[in-house]
Structure 1
Amino acid sequence: MPGNAAPRRLGKTSVMLTPVGLGGGPMGDMFENLDEDKVRATFRGAWDAGIRYFDTSPWYGRGLSELRFGEALRQRPRSDFILSTKIGRTFHRPKDVDNFKGPFWYGGLSFQERFDYTYDGVMRAYEQSQMRLGINRIDLLLIHDLDVPHVGSADLVAQHFLDLERSGWRALEMLKHYGEIQGIGAGVNVLGTIPEMLKRFDLDFFLVAMPYTLIDQGPLDLEFPLCEERGVGVVIGSPFASGILATGAGVPTPYYRYTPAAPEIIEKVRRIEAVCAAHNVPLKAAAFQFVLRHPLVASVISGAVTPEQAAENVSLLGVAIPDAFWSDLRQQGLIDARAP
């Protein structure tokens, strides 16, 4: 990795993360059915580039991402990398085995998911993950997708929060107390989740998947100050905002938050690109380095499906960005004045 890529401590934990990690969403066949040789080459490329933090989930491809991560990482010394996965869903044989087609994933495995944040659900998800990975030690375990867009309604979110409070959290605490995991986190997709979580649970970190990017810095109002008060660390997912900060605004259909970008988002990115051009700064490098400038952020993870993409993500840290670039973004109101 570039010289400015020393490992960073994750909040108050003893876990040290490389500032660039590999995210597992695309490895679940998010956009296409990936060739297995291509998958193996991507993992080798990520490792050769210096990436040592790997994040996956049972949800990614309904188990496929974990299978692929496990195959790649079992070949490496266990002490040489940090691995995180997630709880909140368990996976089961579908009722209609022959005709099952799960939602969201282009490919993936033919298993039916169930949301379950109870003690038994947490333990079952954790054990299922270990078996899919073929790895008997998971460093970080996250509460996954406890929000309306994923669960389906505010009432269901409230019920799952109750399940966590009544029993699921005890399972996570026990796993940490007995040294099976080193930290407990939660994935965040929308504003408001962090305050709700911190009211109830003594979390170690959050994986912020969308709300904090070069486009939007909403967590600076409440979420990040709360984390700072409690020594809670942050990992950033989706630094490219699901597409537009990688492709730019000029492609036929730029994507933001996994849907076609609205006109106002396209216009804002065009203005950011103009500042990039004035300072000869690649948009991708600006997006990556911006989120890492915040002192709470230990790592930024992005999906890759080729060795070249994995290596490029790491190389973005080495791009020189002048202070005047960030000053111009602030002066034009394109980033929050409070952003580091």
Structure 2
Amino acid sequence: MGIRSLLPGRLGFGTAPLGNMFRAIPDDEARATLEAAWDHGVRYFDTAPFYGSGLAEERLGQVLSAKPRDSYVLSTKVGRVVLDEHESTTPDFGEKGGLFEHGNPNKLLHEWTADATERSIEQSLKRLGTDRLDIVWVHDIAQDFHGDQWIQKFEEARTGAFRVLSRLREEGVIKAWGLGVNKTEPVELTLALDEPRPDGFLLAGRYTLLDHEHALTRLLPMAQEQGVDMVVGGPYSSGILAGGTHFEYQEAPPAVIERVGRLKALTEKHGIGIKSAALQFSLAHPATAAVIPGATRPGRIAEDTAALAEQTPAAFWSDLRAEGLVSPAAPLPGNA
């Protein structure tokens, strides 16, 4: 079953921030944010064991377990098993540094074998308080976490997680599976395989206003040819496009800050919000099935839904193209 046919709308909610990414978030604030998403009509929620060593899944489960199960779509990820043992030091996540240093203290087993995949799913079901998952993404088998060893991790997933998820899909236990990554190459490699066949992919940070050219050259043409849809994660590029200071999970460098300044000047000229430009750009590609921005404050949800609905003048997109702020090959709303 294709990803697009499963999703109840074009705006979902990404729960990575609720794993205490960057800061410790009070439980009541996390709950209020999720309830705000529900009240604004969001019915697709994405999470992962990696987000705060199970914290995001726990928080999401506390809210969704009180909702009718057939009324929402739920995705989580495999590749990390949460252990009972606690970390004694801040874990190092490669390029992502101490991303979830404020999350649960539990150690993570980073493994994509068949056994670890089944164990991960079993744990996620318990934390989420549900008896089934709709979509499962194979998480982070890419260069940003594994450097030169990423191909080895990919092969571990190909012979492990991919096959388990394909079987679970055939058995009707899950409806779809794919990759959830921050780099394009693992998805390209998967699409080049004869089997197993993914239903879609969650691409974080690689199809945004600030970073999209690489995805446009190879990945998205391959995906369209095979009818495989994309969910865009991190449409605000770690927050820099939503008033934050982070880009690629780190403090934004001067070149990025300068580019964001040019984008903001253009949005102000046309009287629109930069969030509107960011979300509508990511959704304009025909391969995009949904965007899943994250949030840690209830008020952000209203901003996101309003941004998606805002009328953006065609002149804005024309100026964006004319000023070289998007790739000439990038589809834009209204075919600008």
TM, length-normalised to structure 1? 0.90
Residue 121 of structure 1: aligned partner: 116
* Other structure's SS at 2:109 match: strand
> Among 181, 203, 206, which residue is 1:208 paired with?
203
Q: Relative to structure 1, is the Cα distance of residues 154 and 53 closer, same or farther in structure 2, using a 3 angstrom cutoff?
A: same
Q: Deviations over 1:31-56 (max 9, x none)?
A: 22221221221111110101000000
Q: Is the 8 A contact 1:144 1:186 kept in 2?
A: yes
Q: Deviations over 1:130-155 (max 9, x none)?
A: 111111111000000001221x3322
Residue 32 of structure 1: aligned partner: 23
Summarize the alignment of residues 1-340 of structure 1 with structure 2, pairs less than 5 Å apart: 11=2, 14-94=5-85, 97=86, 99=88, 101-103=90-92, 104=98, 105-150=100-145, 152-155=146-149, 157-200=150-193, 201-218=196-213, 219-247=215-243, 254-340=245-331
Q: Relative to structure 1, is the Cα distance of residues 282 and 295 closer, same or farther in structure 2, using a 3 angstrom cutoff?
A: same
Distance 2:15 2:272 in 1: 28
Instruction: Return the offset for 1:26.
Output: 0.8
The amino acid that maps onto 1:291 is: S
Q: Relative to structure 1, is the Cα distance of residues 325 and 173 closer, same or farther in structure 2, using a 3 angstrom cutoff?
A: same
Distance 1:124 1:216 in 2: 35
Q: Kindly tell me the number of residue pairs found equivalent between the two proteins.
A: 322
Q: Is the 8 A contact 1:13 1:183 kept in 2?
A: no
The amino acid that maps onto 1:160 is: K
Distance 2:322 2:243 in 1: 24
* Other structure's SS at 2:12 match: strand
Q: Relative to structure 1, is the Cα distance of residues 326 and 119 closer, same or farther in structure 2, using a 3 angstrom cutoff?
A: same
The amino acid that maps onto 1:199 is: A
Distance 1:65 1:24 in 2: 6
Distance 1:16 1:149 in 2: 28
* Other structure's SS at 1:61 match: coil
Per mean C-alpha deviation after superposition, the further-off stretch among 171-180 and 184-193 is 184-193
Q: 5+ unaligned residues in a row in structure 2: which ranges?
A: 93-97, 332-336
Ranges of 4+ aligned residues in structure 1 off by more than 6 Å: none
Q: 5+ unaligned residues in a row in structure 1: which ranges?
A: 1-9, 249-253
The amino acid that maps onto 2:159 is: R
Q: Deviations over 1:164-186 (max 9, x none)?
A: 23333221111101111111121
Q: Is the 8 A contact 1:19 1:298 kept in 2?
A: yes
TM, length-normalised to structure 2? 0.91
The amino acid that maps onto 1:240 is: Y
Residue 3 of structure 1: aligned partner: none
Superposition RMSD on alpha carbons, in Å? 1.7
Distance 2:60 2:125 in 1: 11
Instruction: Return the offset for 1:17.
Output: 3.2
Q: Relative to structure 1, is the Cα distance of residues 65 and 11 closer, same or farther in structure 2, using a 3 angstrom cutoff?
A: same
Q: Is the 8 A contact 2:142 2:185 kept in 1?
A: no
The amino acid that maps onto 1:145 is: D
Q: Relative to structure 1, is the Cα distance of residues 12 and 131 closer, same or farther in structure 2, using a 3 angstrom cutoff?
A: closer
Between the aligned residues of both structures, percent identity stands at: 39
Distance 1:308 1:171 in 2: 39
Distance 1:175 1:211 in 2: 28
Distance 2:88 2:319 in 1: 55
Q: Relative to structure 1, is the Cα distance of residues 261 and 134 closer, same or farther in structure 2, using a 3 angstrom cutoff?
A: same
Between 1 and 2, higher relative CO (CA 8 Å, sep ≥ 6) is seen in: 1
Distance 2:207 2:90 in 1: 33
Per mean C-alpha deviation after superposition, the further-off stretch among 297-306 and 266-275 is 266-275
Q: Relative to structure 1, is the Cα distance of residues 98 and 307 closer, same or farther in structure 2, using a 3 angstrom cutoff?
A: closer
* Other structure's SS at 2:52 match: helix
